[in-house]
Amino acid sequence: MSRVPPRISAFINQKGGVGKTTSTVNIGAAIASLGRKVLLIDLDPQSHLSLHLGVDGASVGQTVYDLMLDPDTRTEDCIVKVRPNLDILPSTVDLAAAEMELASTPDRNNILKHRFQEVCDRYEFVLLDCPPSLGLLTLNGLCLAGEVVVPMQAHFLAMQGLSKLLETVKLVSQGLNPSLKVGGVILCMHETQSTHSKEVVAELDQFFEESAGSGLPWEHAKVMRPAIRRNIKLAEAPSFGQTIFDYAEWCPGAIDYRTLAERFVRDWDRAHGVDAGAVRAAEVAASTSVSAAANERATEAVPSASRSPTPAKAASPTQVAPAPQAVADPKPATARASKSERVAKAAVDASAPIPIESPRTAAHELSSATLSVEPKHVRRSV
C-alpha cells in the first residue's frame, strides 16, 4: 500500500480572537493522542501557539524565523518535541520583521514550503497557525498547505469575513498554489441555544451545499462537526502551558475537540482508501507476534536445568504442624470503642456533662446566619 501523503492544513481567519490558535493546538494534540505524528507550525509573531504549549520562542533556540531567514539552518534543529507524537516549530516576536527582511528575496512566498521538504516524511498531519492578516507569513503558509480550515464564530459579521477570505483563497489557488482547497469551517465558542447561531449555521450549510461541484476551491468544504461549545476551560488552559486534554480532559471543550479530531483523521484516511480499523488490527497483530517471538527467544535462552521444577520435599507422616499462635491485637480496647462511648468516657473522667452531637452542621449555621441578616433596601430608579 502506498504511503498516504501528510494532511497539511492552514488554520486562518483574518479576524482575531475566534479560536484559531486554540483549535490548532487542541486538534493537533487530539490527533497525536491517536498515535499519529503531528507537527504544529507557529507563523504568528505573537507566538500564542508556542506559549499555549509552554514553549518560549525567545529562549528555546532556533525558531521559524531562523528557518526562513538563514539558509544554513536545518529544519530539524528548529523543531521542539512537546508531547508524544506532537512536535512544534515555534515562533518568536522577531518574526514580525521577516516580511521586510525578505522583501528582496526571490520566490519568498515558497521559502517555508522548500524548507519543509527536509522533514515532510516524518509527519502525517501538519497544522499551521497563521497570523490574522494576509502578509508574507500567511502566504508562505498557504503555499505550503493543501487546504484551508477556517475557525469562526456563528455570527453575521463573521460570515462577511468568511466571504472575503474565500476570495483570497481563490486568488492564491489561481497563482501561487493551484492545489489549495478549503477544507471547511470550525465553529468555535458556539452557543447551541442561540437562534442567531442556528440561522448562521443553516446559511453556511446551504452555501457549501450549493457550491458542491462548482469547481471552486471550496466545492468540497463543509461545516465541521461537532461545533466547539463555549467553555471557560479552553481559555484557562493556555495560562498553564497545557492543552485542554492536559488541563481538563472531560470538559465539554475537550470532548468536542477530541470528537472533531477523530473525524478529521477518519475523513483523510477514507479519502485515500485507508481502513483505519484494518490498519489498527494489523498493528496489534504485528505487535503481538513480535512479543511472542521475544518471549520464545527468552525461554530458549534459559538453561534446561534451571527450568526444571525442584521437587517439593514430602512431609513426614510423623510431623505435626505447629499450633497457630494467637496474634496480639495492636489496638487497645479503647481504640475499638465507638465514638459515642469514647466521648462519654472522656466526659465522665472529666466530671463534665456528656455532649450530645447535633445534626446541625457548620454549613447550616452559616446559611442560617446569612439568611438572618436583614436585607438592605435597594433604591430603584423610577
Q: Quick one: pLDDT band at residue 133, thresholds 50, 70, 90?
A: confident
Which pLDDT score is estimated for 16? 84
Per the structure block, which three cell numbers stand in for 25?
Answer: 493546538
Which pLDDT score is estimated for 333? 43
pLDDT at 318 exceeding the cut of 70: no
Which pLDDT score is estimated for 150? 97
Residue 359 domain flag: no
Length in residues, the chain? 382
Per the structure block, which three cell numbers stand in for 242?
Answer: 497545557
Residue 349 domain flag: no
Which pLDDT score is estimated for 302? 52
- If you average pLDDT over residues 203-220, what whole number do you get? 94
Transcribe 15-49 into DSSP letters.
Answer: SSSSSHHHHHHHHHHHHHHTT--EEEEE--TT-HH
Higher-scoring residue by pLDDT: 356, 347: 347
In total, how many domains does the chain have? 1
Residue 75 domain flag: yes
How far apart, in whole angstroms, are the C-alpha atoms of residue 204 and residue 161? 13
Per the structure block, which three cell numbers stand in for 373?
Answer: 441578616
pLDDT at 352 exceeding the cut of 80: no
Which pLDDT score is estimated for 308? 46
Residue 325 domain flag: no
Q: Give CA separation, 28 vs 32, 44, 108, 151, 250, in Å.
A: 6, 17, 27, 14, 17
Lowest model confidence (mean pLDDT) among 21-25, 163-167, 255-259, 374-378: 374-378
Which pLDDT score is estimated for 61? 86
Taking the CA of residue 133 as centre, how many other CA atoms within 13 Å lie in the half-sphere pointing to its CB?
A: 9
Q: What is the pLDDT of residues 57-74, one digit of tens each?
A: 888 889 999 999 999 999
Which pLDDT score is estimated for 363? 39
Helix, strand and coil content of the chain, in percent to the nearest 5, comes to: 50, 10, 40
Q: Quick one: pLDDT band at residue 360, thresholds 50, 70, 90?
A: very low
| Contact yes or no for 229/253 (Cβ under 8 A) | yes
Residues of the domain holding 164: 7-277
- If you average pLDDT over residues 15-22, what whole number do you get? 91
Which pLDDT score is estimated for 104? 87
Query: Which residues of the chain form beta strands (DSSP E)?
Result: 7-11, 38-42, 80-83, 86-89, 125-129, 147-152, 181-187, 222-224
Q: Quick one: pLDDT band at residue 14, thresholds 50, 70, 90?
A: confident
| Contact yes or no for 262/50 (Cβ under 8 A) | no
Per the structure block, which three cell numbers stand in for 305?
Answer: 536445568
Residue type, 187: L
Ramachandran assignment for 96, one of left (phi > 0), alpha (psi -120 to 50 degrees), beta (any other):
alpha
Lowest model confidence (mean pLDDT) among 181-195, 275-289, 361-375: 361-375
How do strand 86-89 and strand 80-83 relate by DSSP bridges? antiparallel
b/e code 227-250 from CB counts within 10 Å (16+ = b):
bbbbbeebeebbeebbbbbebbee
Q: Quick one: pLDDT band at residue 372, thresholds 50, 70, 90?
A: very low
Q: Quick one: pLDDT band at residue 297, thresholds 50, 70, 90?
A: low
% of the chain with per-residue pLDDT over 70 = 71
Residue 142 domain flag: yes
Residue type, 70: D
Q: What is the CATH number for 69?
A: 3.40.50.300
Which pLDDT score is estimated for 274? 82
Residue 285 domain flag: no
Q: What is the pLDDT of residues 232-246, one digit of tens each?
A: 999 999 999 999 999
- If you average pLDDT over residues 119-131, what whole number do you get? 95
